[in-house]
Structure 1
């Protein structure tokens, strides 16, 4: 079983469409991209445990050759 917390999220459909396109551009699922964006924001705000750390790499595969 995953160690991640599940919770419902209500989001404006137009914002979801934007996130969906953005996630696709980054070769991530919307869920993985939201987690990345939230982790990056927490990092920038100095809110991650252990001080300022780089955001974790996404768990989904990235594009190999651009």
Structure 2
């Protein structure tokens, strides 16, 4: 059973959002998936997210 996703409104500067859009385009992810990836990696690196919890709930990156 996949983990539950929760909606969360995010206020973000236009500059940061544009940079995230370019990065997500480069990685072939949606902006939402890219933001989740960046947050998950930061949490993992800081030791705030257990290793088993660091897996993406949905990977929308297409197979190449």
The TM-score bracket by the shorter chain reads 0.7 to 0.9
Task: Extract unaligned runs of 5+ from structure 1.
Answer: none
User: How far is 1:9 from its partner?
Assistant: 0.6
Bigger share in helix: 2
Query: What is the aligned length?
Result: 60
Alignment of 1:1-66 (within 5 A): 3-49=4-50, 53=51, 55-57=54-56, 59-64=59-64
TM-score (norm 2): 0.79
Which structure has the bigger radius of gyration? Answer: 1
Give the TM-score of the pair, scaled to structure 1. Answer: 0.77
For structure 2, the 5+ residue unaligned runs are none
1 CA distance for matches of 2:63 and 2:20?
Answer: 18
